[in-house]
Copies of this chain bind each other. A is one copy, B any other.
Amino acid sequence: MKYSEMNKEDLLALREELNKQYEDVKGKGISLNMSRGKPSAKQLDCSLDIIDAIKSDSLLYSEDGSDCRNYGVLTGIPEAKKLMAEMINTNPENVIVYGNSSLNVMYDQISRGYTHGYLGQTPWCKLDKIKFLCPAPGYDRHFAVTQHFGFELVTIPMTENGPDMDMVEEYVNNDPAVKGIWCVPKYSNPQGYVYSDETVKRFANLKPAAKDFRIFWDNAYSVHHLYDDNQPEILDIISLCEEAGNPDIVFEFASTSKISFPGSGVAVMAASKANLDDVKKSLTIQTIGHDKLNQLRHVRYFKNAEGIKEHMKKHAAELRPKFEATLKVLDSELGGLEIGEWTRPLGGYFISFDALEGCAKAIVAKCKEAGLTLTGAGATFPYGLDPKDSNIRIAPSFPTPEEMAQAAEIFVLCVKLVSLDKILESK
């Protein structure tokens, strides 16, 4: 029965009962964490052979004869370009292979716009106001980068098909202060939504008021499917932008952080030739090159996109039971109560939960009190402020399936209790 349709007496009785359960749980001294979007140790075990993919007696030269042990090769060894390009469905000539962190590449791109400007445009540090569009709920570290540079963050609502494109077009096509938008087009963080073909096409066909507007297309979960048989794909933004006469409006990013090893993977950026040439002008000042031995390690292990795909099945086998355990508890305990909604992702690292308005912070606090750490409420919105105080990000990857089930039980209990308080207020 929906909580909102229950009478006050029944609600009070229910609250009393649930409060007892909550006190029981607190007494257990539980310590669980479902805040972190990081692979579990078991997932990392799947990648161990990558470490052995090159040894001291391996051939340590790249296809083009470069000694991968020495200086040089600014944009990545050819075989790494091929592998990383395949992974995100683009061509090797469209990519630069970087070091261990795509977040760092994104930060650098923002910083480059700020210090030097893109393709001859005025550096952003010389302008009074920069606005950045932030589809939300979204990834807190994206928002933090643009906040760090003092940009005004504009919240764009998310839909199941991607950001609200009417609003995106309205901003981008009319306001020259709008210089960019953060996107996680596939298995979005935290909702797990996949941008529809129409959304991607509308992105490619934007008519930006600012010549230096860029789509920051963080294709972080391109191969992170949970199921073998239901794998949504997104259109290739790079070629669509080119076809639309907008070749320069997009930077695409990805990495093997959640494929091989977080912190010891390989990152990639894809863009038009003009953009890449522009990047290289400063990249060649910034560094002599990235870690080519690690590039080689990845290429020797994965060989090609098919190798990555096979490898990701092992990750899926670890992740799937955790997502399913979580969803099972949410479904069975909260289904029909109308005190929350949650997503059912087919991939990625998160489930997004929307509580009744004004309840998210209280739920997170209540979970914390019982020993369950969640991502801070509000984190999925610009400035950490969720206007409805409703969204909570659930990260099932790190605990075991059993721990996730236990964590989910505590979570739903707290959702119920906080929702009851809210509903009782209005009775």
A interface with B by C-beta (< 8 Å): 36, 38-39, 41, 44, 47-49, 51-52, 54-58, 67-73, 99-101, 103-104, 107, 111, 114-116, 123, 125-126, 141, 144-145, 148-149, 257, 261-264, 282, 285-294
Q: Which residue, of A36, A54, A144, A291, has the highest number of chain B Cβ atoms within 10 A?
A: A291
Give this chain's copy count: 2
In the complex, which of the residues B52, B69, B115 contacts A125, with contact meaning CB atoms closer than 8 Å? B115
Q: Which residues of B contact A41 (CB under 8 A)?
A: 67, 69-70
Q: Which residue, of A41, A100, A144, A292, has the highest number of chain B Cβ atoms within 10 A?
A: A100
A115-B125, A144-B285 as given contacts; A291 in contact with B262, CB under 8 Å:
no
Contact between B55 and A101 (Cβ–Cβ < 8 Å)? no
Name the CB-closest residue of B to A146. B285
Q: Which residues of B contact A99 (CB under 8 A)?
A: 99-100, 291
Contact between B44 and A262 (Cβ–Cβ < 8 Å)? no
Contact between B145 and A38 (Cβ–Cβ < 8 Å)? no
A38-B70, A44-B67 as given contacts; A290 in contact with B149, CB under 8 Å:
no
Q: How far is the CB of A77 from chain B (nearest CB, A)?
A: 11
Q: Which residues of B contact A67 (CB under 8 A)?
A: 41, 44
Q: Which residues of B contact A69 (CB under 8 A)?
A: 41, 44, 47, 261-264
Name the CB-closest residue of B to A145. B285
Contact between B286 and A264 (Cβ–Cβ < 8 Å)? no
Ranked nearest first, the 6 interchain pairs of A and B with the lowest CB-CB distance are A48-B56, A125-B125, A71-B262, A264-B293, A104-B287, A44-B69
In the complex, which of the residues B51, B141, B291, B293 contacts A54, with contact meaning CB atoms closer than 8 Å? B51
In the complex, which of the residues B38, B54, B103 contacts A287, with contact meaning CB atoms closer than 8 Å? B103
Name the CB-closest residue of B to A289. B263
Q: How far is the CB of A49 from chain B (nearest CB, A)?
A: 6
Measured in the bound complex, the distance between the Cα atoms of B111 and A281 in whole Å is 15
Q: Which residues of B contact A261 (CB under 8 A)?
A: 69-70, 293
Contact between A291 and B38 (Cβ–Cβ < 8 Å)? no
In the complex, which of the residues B72, B262, B263, B285 contacts A263, with contact meaning CB atoms closer than 8 Å? B72
